[in-house]
Structure 1
Amino acid sequence: MADNDNRDHNRRDRDDRRRNADGGRPRSGGSGQRGYGADRGGNERRDWGSKERRGEGGDRRSYGDRDSRGGDRQDRRRDDRRSSGDRDNRRGDSRGDSRDNRGGRRPTGARYGQRGDDFTGGPRSGPVRQGFREERMDRRAAEPDLPEGLDLADLDPLVRQDLRVLSKDNAEAVGKHILMAAELVDDAPELALQHARAAKNRAGRVAVAREVNGITAYRAGEWKEALSELRAARRIGGGPGMLALMADCERGLGRPEKAIELSRSEEVAQLDREAAVEFAIVIAGARHDMGQHESAVLTVERMNPDRKDDSFSGLRLAYAYADALAQAGRTEEARDWFAHVVAKDEDEWTDAAERLEALD
């Protein structure tokens, strides 16, 4: 009987030590992290970035991070401040301008008030802007109708993966608006833009939603909106982003020099061959806008146009080279390259035949 009592006592003592080591709180998963929404029904942690999911590196930090070693950093900070206040009281510190009537330190604006932190040292969401919920309801009421029969399986798998950070119903609605934007962008760009905006409004922190909005706005000729959305998509998703479209938006806004500035960014080195060709074509166009036709020829030449390249990207590069030569006054060379494009362009994607006839 005594041995049983000793074992029970030892077990209770061991359990108490474990609770104390964990800060008196249950662990939430193996890492000890609690993400946004984890206190509301045990929902999974939600991330607002996509770098880790896309394999682009970077630590993923969720709202309300906890210390992975167990225990709560906020409690330790609060205890440290209390201990510091007690030591200062024992010293008889008389700096009244930094203390309240109870003798403890008063939080200064540089640490608390300016950033919205609370007394526990953790982040605080702050007050919700007045009328925010009403505006969101109005936006959703103004969304274009979604037809029946849309299948989310038609979405690119990477797009579906990006939408997994949303709730199921919201992800479904966003995916359907993206499908409609892609389907309508050629024949009805304005309606397609309404669907793209609806997707962005529902998923403003998802890179693919901002990118779709930017591309659709570009196709609709809304240069300013397109540039803003493409910049946001690049900030959220990382990587070089849609540099060619961003540069072309600068041209559309009458700022070819801004487009050329983009060509000096470090992200250009991250572009694959096809994207690099498109970007060079846009930069050559910006050079033409500024009357720098020989510079435009050099811009295209750096991409090494090749008559043996039968790809669509190679065909576009050859056409851009012929066009740059023509605008630089090098007519014979331009005629030769336009003739090459005509021979390769069996589906008549370009107007090379008309350009060649005009030169002749």
Structure 2
Amino acid sequence: MAEDRRGQRPARGGQGGGRAGSSGGSRGGSSSSRGGDQRSGSGRSGGDSRGRGSRDDAPRGKPGSSRGGYQGKGGDSKPGGKRPSGSGQRAFRPRDEQQPRTADQAAYDGPDLPENITGAELDRGVRAQLKGLPEKLAARVARHLAAAGAFIDEDPELAYRHALAARARASRIAVVREAAGETAYAAGHYAEALAELRAAKRMNGATDYLPIMADCHRALGNPEQAIKLAKSPSVVNFSSEAKAEMTLVEAGARRDMGQLDAALRTLELAPLTSKSRASWVVRLRYAYADTLEEAGRESDALAWFHRTHAIDSDELTDAAERADQIERRQS
């Protein structure tokens, strides 16, 4: 599993429309959020995120499957006739003697689907994106997407396996690749998450994934690439929450590079004094306080930990505890 990346880690999916696994605004499929990064320390939080998708072409069949009747040698066999003996004929193998499935076949099968997950949990928009698939295939993909959303917080590795099963069946649908990317990110598979989200972005042109993609670059040891994404022109049009997510990642990347002053300047350009009590404001304040403390400005850090705690009614962060620690050192 991956390192704990609380606080600087953006909410999965950024901004946008319907997504895999949510119904009426509830999480499912690939939607949910995660918070936190011990490297940059901007607190623990969650936030809703949304993504988009696109149509797929006809899916491929299950690996190793075949269709049609027996075809004998020389074209002289008849449907329903006896299988001729001789070289080149594959003998029937009883079920208990069949070879174990390969890793690719197991990934295609995916984990067992809980009976209570039907696929109806998905957003109407996501279900519409699956209509280009044959009915039975669409139903199977929908159930795996819904299962991915159901497990993403409690068992992200299992959620990722469900998303991979959906991808094996419908790899050309953007929302499926988004689900694979978000669950990979939640499970700490950052290279895979980056590849999947890049694919989704190519398919639908959405920029919602940029904060997560930037954080994947951080996790992979490429803070310069994270900062490059943070400077993308499309960030200007982000919602306040999505901008905050990108600010957190950029500031974290600056800290990764030892640029504490630049990290502070990045955070100071964000709405730290917003009257909103939304989780993204809590996280911005916490990140700022944490960076101030790392820069040796304990008095300023103490003030901002208190300001964070004042609006952190859901106790998303440990701001109160951090403030107490500084006060004990100063007494």
- TM-score by length of structure 2 reads 0.66
Where is the helix percentage greater, Structure 1 or Structure 2?
1
2:211–2:230 Cα contact (<8 Å) kept? no
1:230–1:241 Cα contact (<8 Å) kept? no
Which residue of 131, 146, 156 corresponds with 1:189?
Answer: 156
Give the equivalent residue in structure 1 for 2:168: 201
Counterpart secondary structure, 2:116: coil
Q: Which has the larger radius of gyration?
A: 1
1:240–1:270 Cα contact (<8 Å) kept? no
Displacement, 1:265?
2.0
Displacement, 1:280?
0.6
Which residue of 142, 152, 176 corresponds with 2:109?
Answer: 142
Q: Rate the CA distance shift 1:307–1:358 in 2: closer, same or farther, 3 A.
A: farther
Give the equivalent residue in structure 1 for 2:312: 345
Aligned residue runs from structure 1 range 312-323, under 5 A? 312-323=279-290
Give the equivalent residue in structure 2 for 1:155: 122
Which residue of 300, 324, 349 corresponds with 2:291?
Answer: 324
Separation (CA, whole Å) in 1 of partners of 2:207 and 2:108: 35
1:239–1:270 Cα contact (<8 Å) kept? no
Q: Rate the CA distance shift 1:133–1:279 in 2: closer, same or farther, 3 A.
A: farther
Displacement, 1:133?
7.0
2:271 corresponds to 1:300 = no
Displacement, 1:159?
1.4
Give the equivalent residue in structure 1 for 2:232: 265
Amino acid at match of 2:160: L
Separation (CA, whole Å) in 1 of partners of 2:305 and 2:231: 30
Which residue of 272, 278, 294 corresponds with 2:245?
Answer: 278
Separation (CA, whole Å) in 1 of partners of 2:114 and 2:284: 39
Aligned residues: 237
Separation (CA, whole Å) in 1 of partners of 2:65 and 2:292: 56
Could you list the per-position Cα deviations for residues 69-90 of structure 1 after superposition, in whole angstroms to 9, with x for gaps in the alignment? xxxxxxxxxxxxxxxxxxxxxx
When the two chains are superposed, the root-mean-square deviation of aligned CA atoms in Å is: 2.7
Could you list the per-position Cα deviations for residues 143-199 of structure 1 after superposition, in whole angstroms to 9, with x for gaps in the alignment? 211121323222122211222222211111111111111111122121111101111
Q: Percent identity?
A: 45
Separation (CA, whole Å) in 2 of partners of 1:260 and 1:141: 36
Separation (CA, whole Å) in 1 of partners of 2:194 and 2:65: 27
2:234 corresponds to 1:247 = no
Could you list the per-position Cα deviations for residues 99-124 of structure 1 after superposition, in whole angstroms to 9, with x for gaps in the alignment? xxxxxxxxxxxxxxxxxxxxxxxxxx
Q: Rate the CA distance shift 1:353–1:202 in 2: closer, same or farther, 3 A.
A: same
Could you list the per-position Cα deviations for residues 16-64 of structure 1 after superposition, in whole angstroms to 9, with x for gaps in the alignment? xxxxxxxxxxxxxxxxxxxxxxxxxxxxxxxxxxxxxx799xxx9x99x
Aligned residue runs from structure 1 range 117-132, under 5 A? none
Counterpart secondary structure, 1:153: coil
Give the equivalent residue in structure 1 for 2:92: none
Q: Rate the CA distance shift 1:213–1:141 in 2: closer, same or farther, 3 A.
A: closer
Separation (CA, whole Å) in 2 of partners of 1:226 and 1:141: 18
Aligned residue runs from structure 1 range 18-29, under 5 A? none
Amino acid at match of 1:178: L
Counterpart secondary structure, 1:152: coil
Counterpart secondary structure, 1:245: helix
Amino acid at match of 1:205: R
1:164–1:171 Cα contact (<8 Å) kept? yes
Could you list the per-position Cα deviations for residues 288-339 of structure 1 after superposition, in whole angstroms to 9, with x for gaps in the alignment? 0100011111111222212522112211111122122222222222111110
Q: Rate the CA distance shift 1:137–1:167 in 2: closer, same or farther, 3 A.
A: farther
Counterpart secondary structure, 1:166: coil
Counterpart secondary structure, 1:169: helix
2:282 corresponds to 1:311 = no
Give the equivalent residue in structure 2 for 1:221: 188
Q: Rate the CA distance shift 1:55–1:207 in 2: closer, same or farther, 3 A.
A: closer
1:307–1:340 Cα contact (<8 Å) kept? no
Counterpart secondary structure, 1:164: coil
Moved more, 303-312 or 282-291: 303-312
Could you list the per-position Cα deviations for residues 1-28 of structure 1 after superposition, in whole angstroms to 9, with x for gaps in the alignment? xxxxxxxxxxxxxxxxxxxxxxxxxxxx
Could you list the per-position Cα deviations for residues 235-273 of structure 1 after superposition, in whole angstroms to 9, with x for gaps in the alignment? 111121311111111111111111111122222223221
Give the equivalent residue in structure 2 for 1:168: 135
Amino acid at match of 1:216: T
1:233–1:241 Cα contact (<8 Å) kept? no
Displacement, 1:132?
8.8
For structure 2, list consecutive stretches of 5 or more residues without a partner in the other structure: 1-51, 67-101
- TM-score by length of structure 1 reads 0.61
